[in-house]
Structure 1
Amino acid sequence: MTLAEALAARTEALCAVRSPIGEERALCDEVERQVRGRFAEVRRVKNSLVVLADGAAPSGRPLVALCGHLDTVPIHAEDEGRFPRREGGRLYAPGASDMKGGVAVALELAERLPAAERFCDLALVLYSREEGPFEENELGDVLREVPEVSRAALALCLEPTDNALQLGCVGSMHATLRFTGRSAHSARPWQGENAVHKAGELLRLLHRLPFHAVHDGGLEYREVMSVTRIEGGRARNVVPDQCTANLNFRFAPGRSLDSAAAEVEELARRVGAEATITDRSPSCPSYADHPLVRRLRERSGARLEAKQAWTDVARLAQAGVPAANLGPGATAQAHQAGEWLDLAELERSYLMLERFLRP
């Protein structure tokens, strides 16, 4: 079987096992069946796997971890029962780009490239519940229960990047902003205080607010705030006494979680709202000057970009592991109905990483 067909077939097989977030057990069981006994050491944590291809004991060589999540976003209704299928050089399936193609590349590399043909030891970190809240992500459990992962000299998240090397990532903070008013009949609104109208100042401010550019490692990251949900009102003829808005703040490397929270809380005070932080995910530095990142850039030939989104490189960095993003999936296909992956990008991704891993 050619490399291209092996990668396509492996990705298709991974996509054939449904694994929307919270339902990853069947896929984890299948991958565990494939790797158990084939590699020096395999550890399972809940529905996540760590494959230590060269064993757990330090060898004196650097350890490189290839990381990918097994879960997908919930499956779109129109995609149920229709996938996977190949057509026109593409593989159509939920999770094909985000990120079962990346998982297939990692597994294929571990099988095809023995220790003697690598400059490093190799670990695969295949985990569940990435597509949900930060605290529920099983990579946190893996880092706590498999300490060998934290000694990695570099971790690569094979998230969809169109095979660009995307460094760092912006942090993400969600907050509920609550506006309080007083109910009244909508025919006599002066007898109450409209909480939805009070939220107008927030919306006007954000509508005019430009992004804030921050540079790290020669790359530009953009800090932005957006209202992504807003709710208010109990009946169509009642002045609403409550209005809540979900505010999402994407903040650049170098800003701490406390600093991001303080900025959100200051904005809430400015517009007369009460803020409750509901989810906080840290940013990640670019590591542009890290020697293994430089090696990866030079050997892969990948174009360099800032990661204007959140990925688990930030969680890895919190654990002391330098990390970057590089994967075969199409960024524009992540979370889409009718999601597809360009099969030629699988082989390209494999060869880029193989050049990096060889001595």
Structure 2
Amino acid sequence: MSEVVELTRGLVSIPSHDDETEAGDYIENWLREETDAEVTRDDAGNVVARRGPADAASLALVGHHDVVPPADSQTTAAGEYVVEERDGRLHGRGTADMKGAVAAAMLAFRDAAVGDTASGRTRSDDADRGGSDVDQPSELVFASFVGEEQGGVGARAAIEDGFAPDYAIVGEGSTGYSAEGATDVAVAHKGRRGSTVTARGSAAHASEPEAGENAVYRACDAVDVIRDLEFPAVEVFGEEVRGSVAVTEIDGGSAWNVIPEACEVTVDERTVPGERAPLERVEEIEGVEWTVEQDLPPMRCDDADFAETVLAAASDAQVADPELVSKPHATDAGWLAEAGTTCVVCGVAEPGEAHTDTESASIEVLERCYDIYRDAAERF
């Protein structure tokens, strides 16, 4: 069994859908035992480790160790997580999203030669692996956050506490976007703005509808405004990222014979970097208010050289020809990019694996991501 598979199995076996403490303990203890890095654990539960000179340019390998609640088939009667290996894949909650990438990043953080490192090796020792032969020290950072599945709780706490690497590779899924099995490099992803349109009117008996103000009608007028909005789009290194807006729920009325006095419309917007759909236009309708409940930021890489550096590492790690792509889902890279960190996303998960009852990760891709993270750190 390879080291990355063994470490992934260990992480995945630890329940972390409602309490990440034990998983955080596992990561922290491993880092303290396997490296001589500076390891810290903040009040939120985030685990951060650092190697190399603090005044040098920094590259962070970033993940999260919380997961969504498992299906019954993914736990034992005692509540333990089931981890199974079959058909070249690891199956279990968190294998794809994203403890597999966390394990690969932990090992790459330990093993990468980044200038004057604790391992005693330098880039020139690994020139035959495609790395630079220039011994230029840099700081390598590892971070595993809590609360990503709750809207980036851990990432936001770390940023507020001063976490600010210059560059980051966030290990969310990027495999299978350009071609089946290829591990690509995402240079952009969409954000999500969830909002509510509230229409208010006045109740009346349905036999005399003119005696009231029908809130459902006002809500329908607002929906018409939303349907006519143009979706914003931006281009990132030749990759188009297009947003979307969709009404996903409508709730109004109290009885079949009462003119409704209130109606709520839920709106799901997938945002793109630097652009938002003008949803505030619905407030031009009498009796209509618009409220934002969640705004997960999108991400756009702002350094083509960094993107190409990670892409080169990805190319060397596989037979396929990976590409620069975009992702439809928000990740912690959005919070980091918003705070000033230059990000890309590169990781194990394939489309359709995360959050499913049959979640799994390819063992070949787990080992590949270790190679990508290590090589990218050495090229940085």
With the shorter chain as reference, the TM-score category is 0.7 to 0.9
Do structure 1's residue 294 and structure 2's residue 308 form an aligned pair?
A: yes
2:29 pairs with 1:33 = yes
The residue type paired with residue 232 of structure 1 is G
Cα contact 1:167–1:304 (8 A) shared by 2 = yes
The one-letter amino acid paired with 2:50 is: L
Matches within 5 A, 1:276-287: 276-287=291-302
Q: Are the equivalent residues in 1 in contact too, given 2:104–2:373 (CA < 8 A)?
A: no
Equivalence for 2:90: 91
Q: Which residue of 1 is the match for residue 58 of structure 2? A: 63
**Distance in 2 between residues matched to 1:108 and 1:74, nearest whole Å:** 26
For residues 1-53 of structure 1, the C-alpha deviation after alignment (integer angstroms, 9 at most, x for no partner) is 5xxx2212211211111111x41111111211211243320010121110113
- Contiguous gaps of at least 5 residues in structure 1: none
CA positional deviation for 1:128: 0.4
1:1-359, aligned counterparts within 5 Å?
5-20=2-17, 22-37=18-33, 38-46=35-43, 47-54=45-52, 57-58=54-55, 60=56, 62-81=57-76, 83-114=82-113, 115=117, 116-118=121-123, 120-134=138-152, 137-145=153-161, 147=162, 149-150=163-164, 152-162=165-175, 163-186=183-206, 189-207=209-227, 211-255=231-275, 260=276, 263-270=278-285, 273-289=288-304, 291-301=305-315, 302-359=322-379
Tell me the CA shift for residue 272 of structure 1.
5.7
CA contact (8 A) 2:187 2:326 kept: yes
Q: Is the 8 A contact 1:254 1:285 kept in 2?
A: no
Whole-Å Cα distance in 2 between the matches of residues 353 and 31 of structure 1?
17
The one-letter code matched in structure 2 to 1:126 is S
Summarize the Cα distance change of 1:187–1:77 in structure 2 as closer, same or farther, 3 Å threshold. farther
Determine helix, strand or coil for the equivalent of 2:189.
Answer: coil
Q: Distance in 1 between matches of 2:286 and 2:353?
A: 36
For each residue in 1:153-204, what CA deviation from the matched residue of structure 2 results, as whole angstroms up to 9, or x when unmatched? 3101001111211112233222211011333445655544432343223444
The aligned amino acid for 2:158 is: V
Moved more, 317-326 or 176-185: 176-185
In the alignment of these two chains, the number of paired residues is 341
Q: Which runs of 5+ in 2 are unaligned?
A: 124-135, 176-182, 316-321
Distance 2:309 2:229 in 1: 39
- For residues 346 and 367 of structure 2, the distance between their equivalents in structure 1, rounded to whole angstroms, comes to 13
In 2 relative to 1, CA 155–89 (structure 1 residues): closer, same or farther, beyond 3 Å? same
Is the 2:167–2:343 Cα contact (8 Å) retained in structure 1? yes
- The amino acid that maps onto 1:284 is M
Q: What is the TM-score normalised by the length of structure 2?
A: 0.81
| SS of aligned partner of 1:36 | helix
3-state SS of paired residue (2:265): strand
Structure 1 residues 65 and 331, CA gap change in structure 2 (3 angstroms): same
- Residues 179 and 195 of structure 1 are in contact (CA less than 8 Å); yes or no, is this contact kept in structure 2? yes
In 1: Cα distance, 2:208 partner to 2:342 partner: 60
Aligned-partner Cα distance in 2 for 1:79–1:196: 43
Q: State the 1:316 CA deviation.
A: 1.3
What is the CA–CA distance in structure 2 between the aligned matches of 1:330 and 1:266, rounded to whole Å?
Answer: 37
Q: CA deviation at 1:346?
A: 0.7
Give the 3 Å change call, closer, same or farther, for CA 338–234 of structure 1 in structure 2.
farther
Structure 1 length as normaliser, TM-score?
A: 0.85
Q: State the identity %.
A: 27
